[in-house]
Structure 1
Amino acid sequence: MGSTTQRIVASITTAIVERRLMPGTKLAEQKIADIFKVSRTVVRQALNQLSRDKLVTLEPARGAFVARPSVEEARQVFEVRNMLESVMVRRLAAGVTPAQVAQLREHLKREQAAVQRTDVSGRTRLLADFHVVLARLLGNEVLADILQDLVSRSSLISLMYQSAHSAEHSFEEHVAIVDALERGDARAAVRLMASHLDHVERNLRLDPRVPDLEAALTAP
């Protein structure tokens, strides 16, 4: 039963991150049970897990729906991130070491690999982790923890709305930021980070389409 539950969780998660199931889509228990030929109890277990992962919202007397993250909240998160990360890269540019640059280059290699193989969840995690890695290079764990929380609060929206094209663009902007840090060019690093966060925020667009549930979950 556990493996069946995980199969349903994986199918719904993939459908969400690949934008085949959009925010607000109703996830009818019986229909999902029919699609996967399982009991509603198994489906309910899967939906409960997805709810804990914040991908699904469970509403009393209404059922389960694909989560509808607040874009306004994301906008506020990006505003705070811009404030913090501008100071962060300015300080980092003043004292980054060759070993730290090498660490960032290694992270960029993993980002590039995830983008090229269209690993949606992997690329989303790595693109987000880049910002936390920068914070940890300063040796300020309080800043790193705060930024981790801010990145986590915006990651669901990035996961759900970032296209492969915008992910590739984010990677390229990360490369430019590291290039500026390696040169010790604080002004360019701050400008590039602000531009990058602005681009990520502007690429988070809601789409009101609600596709057929069975077609989304059984797509090849």
Structure 2
Amino acid sequence: MEDKYSIKNHVYKTLKEAILSRKLPPGKQIVENTISTKLKVSRTPVRNAINQLAVEGLVEIRPNKGAFVINPTLEEILQAYSLRKELELMAIDVSINHLSDSDMDELERIVKEEKEALFKKHIANYLNANEKFHLAIVKQCKNKFLIEFIEKLISQTSIYLMLFDVFFEDSSSQPYGHKEHLEIIQLMKQKKHKEVKICLAKHFDNAISSLDVQSDYSDLEGIFD
């Protein structure tokens, strides 16, 4: 018989995959009884799995109402991206002066990872590479508070990418983000502060324009079949 951790981990992975693969829509209530009955487990591991997803920002727990897949408003998404863009523009203006040749080589290596994940449409690997790219630049600004704020916003906007980026739909066009990252690298190598900030701003604007809500979802019970 599986131990409690294994059961909780199975429920957690199943729910997380359902959210990230867009089988469960933003705003969908996650009912403990439904999951417990379907998987023939107690409600405790189900509740623990839901709490872990809440810590990661994928689920919102509302007092006296229950747990729901996070469902940000368009305004909240735009606010997060707008603030992140302004802070990263501030950081990159300083970071350019501190990035070494080896740093540039590492950024190019990360972009190769990103490109491979994009063409395979592997969202987890893509998000990991995308986060590493931006943080590798941001951390060179040497401003502890600015780095912390941006890290939080990167985590939040990554969730929005997972839930709403149209690229990960089957009918989407070919990826472009890695090409913009390569352009940013080349401009940083040339110490072109103004041009790199324009390029980064455009990069964020394109990311925002690629967000949309997927409408084809399954019922909660169906994800465990």
**TM-score where L is the length of structure 2:** 0.83
Contact 2:20/2:162, CA 8 A, preserved across alignment: yes
1:184 aligns with 2:191: yes
Mapped to 2, the partners of 1:95 and 1:40 lie a distance apart of 52
Match for residue 12 of structure 2?
9
SS in 1 for 2:175: helix
Which residue of structure 2 aligns with residue 155 of structure 1? 158
Q: Counterpart of 2:200 in structure 1: which amino acid?
A: M
Q: CA deviation at 1:94?
A: 5.1
Residue 203 (structure 2) pairs with residue 196 (structure 1) = yes
**Cα-to-partner distance string for 1:78-109 (whole Å, 9 max, x where unaligned):** 22222232233344445643222112112223
Letter in 2 for 1:9: Y
Shift of 1:173: 1.7
Moved more, 185-194 or 19-28: 185-194
Match for residue 104 of structure 2 among 101, 104, 109: 101
Aligned to 1:66: 69
Corresponding residue for 2:130?
127
Deviation at 1:197, TM superposition (A): 0.6
Q: Distance in 1 between matches of 2:145 and 2:174?
A: 28
Q: Which residue of 1 aligns with 2:115?
A: 112
Question: 2:158 is aligned with what amino acid?
Answer: S
Return the offset for 1:174: 1.3
1:174 to 181, 187, 203: 181
**CA positional deviation for 1:167:** 9.3
Matched-pair contact (CA < 8 Å) for 1:25–1:66: yes
CA RMSD of aligned residues (A): 2.5
> In the alignment, which residue of structure 2 is the partner of 1:139?
142
Asked if residue 37 in structure 1 is aligned to residue 44 in structure 2, the reply is no
State how far apart, in whole Å, the 1-side matches of 2:63 and 2:147 are. Answer: 37
How far has the Cα of 1:210 moved from its partner? Answer: 4.9
- Is the contact between residue 92 and residue 141 of structure 2 (CA under 8 Å) also seen in structure 1? no
Counterpart among 69, 75, 79 of residue 76 in structure 1: 79
State the SS of the aligned residue for 1:168.
Answer: coil
Structure 1 residue 49: Cα displacement: 2.0
Q: Which amino acid aligns with 1:40?
A: R
User: Distance in 1 between the 2:98 and 2:43 partners?
Assistant: 57
Identity of aligned residues (%): 26
Distance 1:213 1:193, change over 3 A: same
Match of 2:53 among 35, 50, 55: 50
Q: 1:74 touches 1:153 (CA, 8 Å); kept in 2?
A: no
